[in-house]
Structure 1
Amino acid sequence: MRQVIDCAVLWAPGQEGWVKDWMARREHALPRARLLSLPLAAQAPDGPAPDALWRLQQVLRRYDLAILPVAPEQLAWSRMALSAAEGMLPVPLLGLAHGLRAAAIQDLLGLGLSDFVRVELEGDDLGLRLACVARRKDALAAGALAGCDGAVRPATARSSLGNDAAGKSSPGWAPGLAEPDMPYALASRASLPSTEETLSFRAAKSRVVAAFEHDYLSRALRRSGGNIAMAARQASKHRRAFWGLMRKHRIDAAAFRTEGATVEDDELG
């Protein structure tokens, strides 16, 4: 790694104030790190497009790590953006948490953040965290992130090609994954036994089904902001059956709720 770490700070419209203030206060306190502003263009009425992170793959290759500022008002977008870019960014992603609860941070870590820091962290402690996260770039570069050939692309990127192009097969698109924010095939493949592990067909199938169910439920709850009733409706399942699967996989809806969300519709009585 180079002596100086280049950190891309990916701020979105509406974050200019507190993000630029955070950068200015730490600019001279990090002699071995450069905080470089990389604004995300507003492509949707309420902010950047859900595939904004995914589209930065080539740009991010020149950095050692990327910092993603997240406040409660950007939480929903951050979840979608991380889901769309899952496993495809060439640099580790460090979350800069501003006013987030622990459950929300844990959810973002599960979606692809390599680590997180709170806005209060500074000085040598912050510099050490940046250095530790930046070291993970080599591991990412050695994986499927380099080139991304054969990877599943986000639905929003696909739809931007137009209806005709979206309906045709193209290299890198997995048949049957019309909604790449639900990479069930990837979750299933990751749950299969390794070559050193021997499982019966039935046991291997159970493991794959369990991985699918957990992934499906988590993504449904993420889209609904942790509202169980809404997630169940979208999944075309009875609310009690959906809740039963959540209990089976020990999934807590609270981890997916945005700040201030209510649970009125989730009563199962």
Structure 2
Amino acid sequence: MREHLDCAVLATPSNENYVAGLPGSHAGGRLLIHLLKVEAGAEEGRALASTAMNLRRYDVCLLQVHPANLSWVRTNLQAARPLLTTPVIAITRDLRAAALDDLHKLGVEDFLREPFCAEELRARCERLLARQQAKVYIKHIESDPGGSALSVGEAHVTYQEVGAEHGQHPTLGANNMPVSVLESYAAAAAGESSGTSLRAAKTQIVEHFETAYIKAALHRHQGNIAMAARSVQKHRRAFWALMHKYKIDPMPYRAMGRNLPMPCGTGKMPANFSEG
């Protein structure tokens, strides 16, 4: 759990009087709220977009929404979607369910009703950041640009960067694995409103792990299935069965291997190899 969270509450012409009382330290110093004014001269419909860069220094953006400024919020969220990376929590008043659903579709991650409770806001921020971190984790595992896989060392650095992105320093387990990343994923799965079961969450994380592990082994041995299976102490048939299960094609890794010098005594010679 983070020692403290930094939230920015956006001050607009329609809510300056209300948000003026929010900045400060809350929840025993564990929640810090900062006032962030819309940049002067910003277009009416792009005020949030013009502030997107400044919002990156904060964990969460708080946005007050009520019937009087609902149209302004909708327009600005639509314009800011390609630029806004900071998660948004709306502090709402007198909004109908249809309006809340619309805001969610426009990118609002969570909602609080006025008057907000600092402890509740802190808890919602923690849950939101855990979900964001889990999404980044899954994205890194699933990404395989150009048909290649990350090596084990590269993947480890990536996981470290995921934790650092939220100001965290992952605690390494006995196998040098970043514990906080898996904890964040577990917290996100358990906190889903749909109630993801333990079995389903565990199955998903095992599938992602096995996929990344097999791809890394194939990458290391340039697509040689026998050598990759031997290196991970797996029978060749069982290794091939996992490749078939996850639809992993060894050909891209073999193509990469043709462009690399082959160590003496390892693997087979390429079919087009000729002496002399």
Structure with more of its chain in helix, by fraction: 2
**Bigger Rg over Cα:** 2
TM-score after normalising by structure 1 = 0.45
TM-score after normalising by structure 2 = 0.44
Instruction: State the structure with bigger RCO (CA 8 A, min sep 6), 1 or 2.
Output: 1
